[in-house]
Amino acid sequence: MTLSSTISTQQEESEAFRAHITIQLEKEDLALPLLPVVAHQVLQLSGDPNADVNKLSTLIQQDQALAGQILRIANSPAYLPRSPIVSLQQAVTWLGMNMLAGLAFSVSVQSGVFTIKGYEKEIRSLWAHALATGLYGKEIARRIRHNVENAFLCGLLHTIGKPIILHLISTSQSPHEGSPTWTILEPIIQEFHIPAGTKLAEAWKLPESVQEAIRLYPDDRYHQATLPTKGAIMTCLADHLASYSLGTSSLDEEALRALPVIHDLNFYPDDLDALLELREGIQQSVETFLV
């Protein structure tokens, strides 16, 4: 097969996938993954002013795999426990309600959505970026005195549509067909992940602030956001910082510092300096989640 015929075949394959995704996203009854049960319950608890750490601890204990992950993460260098943490009660005391809820939600979503056979390496990269964006979102929120847990959720879920698009494409393939290459899939995923994420966020009944961030986080959209939570604009900067931190950004530091979103957040150079200094810690936290 000649180079030109190979390129032509890839273009035809890409267009076929685009047509398939377009049709799927227009469906009223589009089959979407359910929000994992524990993640759903954690969301409800975090939004309940009467909830306490004991309820959250009891919830996590019902899932032994999740409890084990929480204990492993709590004992990691990223969270620097003074002594080994051997029980969820200790983890609750050390991490606090909000941090524990964020960890439980993250681990539950990762195991429930970010698992697609044949694309383990690519899915790991998507999840690493989502985690890094959530962690940077928290730090940006701290600097402008906004809700850090909401900023974490906005960042964590801002590209939740990407694994959904990958799932829709992979399930459209016949068993005898080979899996499409990432080179073909990546631009399609990038093109359609926002409408897919929007549909999923609505189906999961995520907080409106998170839904707005999913819809409007890109550079050319965050100006359309209306909620006072500022999730979209914070997620925009967090997304750029995550890409830069993980070495996947096309921007160098000079271009990063010149982004309009930094001016729109009223950040000064020392604000960005402080965020850039978190790079090693963010990378360490992401690796802790991914082990």
Q: Tens digits of per-residue pLDDT, 76-103? A: 877 777 788 888 888 877 877 777 788 8
pLDDT at 223 over 90: yes
pLDDT at 215 over 90: yes
Q: How far is 238 from 236, CA to CA, in rounded Å? A: 6
Greater model confidence, 78 or 258:
258
Model confidence at 37, pLDDT cuts 50, 70, 90, reads confident
Model confidence at 3, pLDDT cuts 50, 70, 90, reads very low
Average pLDDT, the chain: 87
Greater model confidence, 214 or 174:
214
* Burial class, 3, CB count within 10 angstroms (exposed 0-12 / middle 13-18 / buried 19+): exposed
Are 168 and 21 in contact by the 8 Å Cβ rule? The answer is: yes
Helix (H, G, I), strand (E, B) or coil at 246: coil
State the pTM of this model: 0.89
The pLDDT tens digits of the residues spanning 112-162 come to 777 777 888 998 999 999 999 999 999 999 999 999 989 999 999 999 999
Integer angstrom CA distances of residue 181 from 13, 45, 46, 291 = 10, 41, 40, 25
Q: What's the mean pLDDT in 264-274?
A: 96
Model confidence at 2, pLDDT cuts 50, 70, 90, reads low
Provide the percentage of residues in the chain whose pLDDT is more than 70: 95
pLDDT of residue 176: 46
Greater model confidence, 132 or 10:
132
Model confidence at 8, pLDDT cuts 50, 70, 90, reads low
Q: How far is 32 from 197, CA to CA, in rounded Å? A: 10
Greater model confidence, 211 or 167:
211
Domains of the chain: 34-113 (no CATH), 118-291 (1.10.3210.10)
pLDDT of residue 54: 80
Q: How far is 66 from 103, CA to CA, in rounded Å? A: 10
pLDDT of residue 291: 64
The pLDDT tens digits of the residues spanning 153-196 come to 999 999 999 999 988 887 776 544 667 888 889 999 999 999 99
pLDDT of residue 234: 98
Model confidence at 64, pLDDT cuts 50, 70, 90, reads confident
φ/ψ (deg, to 5) at 205: 55, 45
